[in-house]
Structure 1
């Protein structure tokens, strides 16, 4: 939690203002019982109406000052807490954006969402209380004790019994509540994960009639969280009546022994009334601390989770002295003995991969499921870093380049088409923010998307639903391709990006791409033999190893794995026509 409090630095002057107003509120409230004592002793007991009205006016003025300080302090506290929350969200989001895919896999998407939202809200809530009570409560406690002793030293013995009892109860509650809150946040992660899977996978769930199964999963996760929350809240709920009981017993004790001292003429009625109020202020300050001790453990658990995100160093970072890509080479890619292993995996996903390609060349990658095709292309934009070997772009190792510069040279079309909420033109311009209307239209035309966009009610301004749910799989893929084309990069990477297209559209798109990408390197990952056989170079992967490289005709003669793939998709007549 202390690490989170460092984020208060930008609000230093506001925090100082909060302290001033909190101090003013505390001083005003500490002065009120003394004035009340004077009104009773010197006004009511003496029958002096003028004295009562004068000092009653002072009490009213102090009450107004206290209220004004309280309102202003609360306003500034809320602003500071919300500002810190805003900054934390920005910091967490920025750090998450810099994570490699390994860090995403390690923490989990649902957990990262919870940390960015719920955990930061918990910290905000406690921060408001800390700014208001962490200063106010000690002032009220110390000031209350001082003023109570000044009224009657003998009665303070009652406080010496009550205060340790309250502190013991507070410590006991904190020791039980803190571990429970940590467990609650983990169970909230679990609930978010189940909910997210249900919402994103609703089609599959309905298709397989698993609604009851998923409902049961959600009820289990929800019930587990609820049971833990009930136990925690039961512990917290026990605090209030116990504290009130101790306060009332203290008040009774003061009244009893105070009455004895008044009967012995050792104390005045007004002083006893003031002593009771100071005792209540002291006890109330401990209740505020108790509330803090109950809330801080939850915020502490949330703060630890936030710090885990902020302190996790991304595996992939920009070099201290980044190199620049010169204009001597363009669109040139080289793999030199590259080996890659996923964290924790026994066997490498790719082993000793070497090839190169340049501008105007189409390199296709084919292989069975799990052969490492997508893994290979994920190494080019540094979604992962190779374990051994070297990947060079235009003659420069990718690890020597800034990630922004490296990725600015690449037009990447992922295996699963991802669109964002907004219009169709905005989604295409995602590849190039300042793209002109002509560039957008041209990219859509090359991607074979112009016709279906034209038929839409609002054309290129047609809204795209979240996740592109109002478009078909083929339409989403074509818009994803248009997004890469509008960028006009040096390197195009298509990760099985034609799988949702019919054969006619696939052929038209590849023909248009060949003309459009004459000055760029093109890498295509595909499952269809018809998609790759016209490539300048075909790489055949099998269990992470490069078992063949060459043209279609060369591989048909030299690579058994490639022949098996072709045989599984084409008839003998079709195979002979392509040889």
Structure 2
């Protein structure tokens, strides 16, 4: 786990190495100053020697300035190193997620991945900063201060030998019990982010159904769970402070009692040395306090680091072969004995025994009831998922033999849930082809019947699309995504119920435009409307993940009951609407 995480330090290794060096200089001054103070008291103040007072006072001042300078440089380099480490880690995670298949993303959920890239990375960043600075400073202070106390008075130093191990054992027990609860907290954060994300994405539905109270309760329940778990963890962690205070007070009392007796009974032990022992005591115990705080941070970070490593360890289900094909010859598609399950389980198939042979340039309609796996079928073509059994061939080759980018670059896909991104209409459409000229973008928009409404906007093609495309209607969004797919000039075009929000006249105009603009492109049209697919070369009827029938509109009207029922129900509804 540590190796995977530390690989992201990258170009910030210099700052990461300099931080402990600066910290060492700071610690050295902190350890030396109590000795100088003891000499100042014993040789200067007690003997009223102004020369020694000035000498040791000046030396203290120089040490303090050097400690301040080293500490400032250490803090600065630690901040740069940790921020850079977090930046690289986020980039690695994001790049890793971009390579995931849909099934990989399904295993984590979008909200969980967001939490891991934000909250979890921040926790690891803070821990890294503490490791390279505090986790260097505190042990050095502890070790050097203990050495100095033994140098000053070995007998008094035995106090630390008893107190420090007890404190260490107590802190270990706190870590052991708090860590599992922190893991629960972060899993609940995933759920909290999911609730917020769903609410914001579906805010129009929430308001339309007046379900604000329900959503508030759902959020409150999850938020309360976070509070309960976090409070429980912090209650355990809170024992670290009284434990530390007990150690401090115990050391102070024992030092005061035995130190005073040593001064009275032993002329070799001076007042200045007792004062330095008090200083070292505070340094030792404060270093332990900082260590305990670091352990608390590391507990939180350990949970976050494990969750981040889960993403880094996740292998994409979809990979290129040893020598992937780098070109697609044509848009022919063949399904050979294809079975598919989202769980990769032959007992839970959503597609079963699919056999189809589609020639390049054909227009294929796909119809079927809800849950008949129409979308699942076409998602196998650009290899968004891999088949559980059988083969999908594109251009005469198994899709698994292609370079993924090459294959998907030749498949234009307009998904059922259309997505637009923040930016101008020009920028959104150029997702299909970043090098497309303004004229090419506008030509694609005309074929998709989008040019007219775009030009009605005050800024035309430079109109800003808000997050998620919320400032355009459903039909406008569909036409923009069709134009975006057309700019790819793909060999295969998949329209997954992508004209459901436009009227039949516009739907017809889009299909006519596609026929003229990309006549050699194999086109798959999934639709609930028979009128959208009845002119297709062939129509596939799916029922419960199986092919129920294949043929032209006239053929299916003569021999396929499901198709007839769909057609008749739509014709009846159309007739009744006209009678009214």
TM exceeds 0.5?
Answer: yes
Shift of 1:502: 0.5
Do structure 1's residue 332 and structure 2's residue 332 form an aligned pair?
yes
Alignment of 1:552-571 (within 5 A): 552-571=553-572
- 8 Å contact 1:330–1:358 — kept in the other structure? no
Is contact 2:9–2:85 with CA below 8 Å preserved after alignment?
Answer: yes
Q: Deviations over 1:455-514 (max 9, x none)?
A: 111000011011111110000000000001111111111001110010111111111111
Corresponding residue of 1:156: 157
CA distance in 1, matches of 2:119, 2:367: 44
Residue matched to 1:286: 288
Structure 1, 244-253 or 539-548: larger mean CA deviation: 244-253
Name structure 2 gaps, 5 residues minimum: 576-580
1:146 aligns with 2:143: no
Structure 1, gaps ≥5 residues long: 575-579
Distance 2:143 2:326 in 1: 63
What is the CA RMSD across the aligned residues, in angstroms?
Answer: 1.6
Indicate conservation of the 8 Å contact 2:335/2:357, yes or no. Answer: yes
| Alpha-carbon distance between aligned partners in 1 of 2:271 and 2:303, rounded to the nearest angstrom | 49
Stretch moving more, 373-382 or 343-352 = 343-352
Runs of 4+ in 1 over 4 A off after TM superposition: 571-574
Query: Offset at 1:235?
Result: 2.8
State the distance in 2 between where 1:529 and 1:94 align: 42
Q: CA shift at 1:347, angstroms?
A: 3.3
Structure 2 vs 1, CA of residues 134 and 41 (structure 1 numbering), >3 Å: closer, same or farther?
same
The 8 Å contact of residues 325 and 394 in structure 1, kept in 2 or not, is answered as no
Is residue 316 of structure 1 aligned with residue 318 of structure 2?
yes
C-alpha contact 1:358 1:520 (8 A) present in aligned 2 = no
- In structure 2, what is the Cα distance between the partners aligned to 1:424 and 1:136? 54
Q: Which residue of 1 aligns with 2:94?
A: 93
Q: Does the CA-based 8 Å contact 2:494-2:523 persist in structure 1? A: yes
Alignment of 1:220-235 (within 5 A): 220-235=221-236
2:578 corresponds in structure 1 to none
CA distance in 1, matches of 2:155, 2:10: 45
Following the alignment from structure 1 to structure 2, what is the Cα–Cα distance between the partners of residues 130 and 439? Answer: 54
Aligned to 2:211: 210
Distance 2:218 2:527 in 1: 36
CA apart distance, 1:31: 0.4
Answer whether contact 2:492 2:522 (CA < 8 A) is retained: yes
Separation in 1, partners of 2:47, 2:574:
121
> Aligned equivalents of 2:64 and 2:245: distance in 1?
24
Measure how far apart 1:572 and its partner are. 11
Any idea what SS the aligned residue of 1:299 has?
Answer: helix
Q: Verify: 1:540 aligned to 2:541, yes or no.
A: yes
Aligned-residue offset at 1:10? 4.0
Q: Tell me whether 1:508 sits opposite 2:509 in the alignment.
A: yes
Of 298, 301, 304, the match for 1:299: 301
Query: Does residue 1:447 correspond to 2:481, yes or no?
Result: no
Deviation per CA, 1:105-147: give whole Å up to 9, x if none: 2111111110110000000111111111221122111111111
Matched, 1:360 2:361: yes
Q: Deviations over 1:427-460 (max 9, x none)?
A: 1111100100100110010000011011111000
Could you tell which deviates more after superposition, 112-121 or 558-567?
Answer: 558-567
Q: Aligned residue for 1:495?
A: 496
Instruction: Output the TM-score relative to the length of structure 1.
Output: 0.96
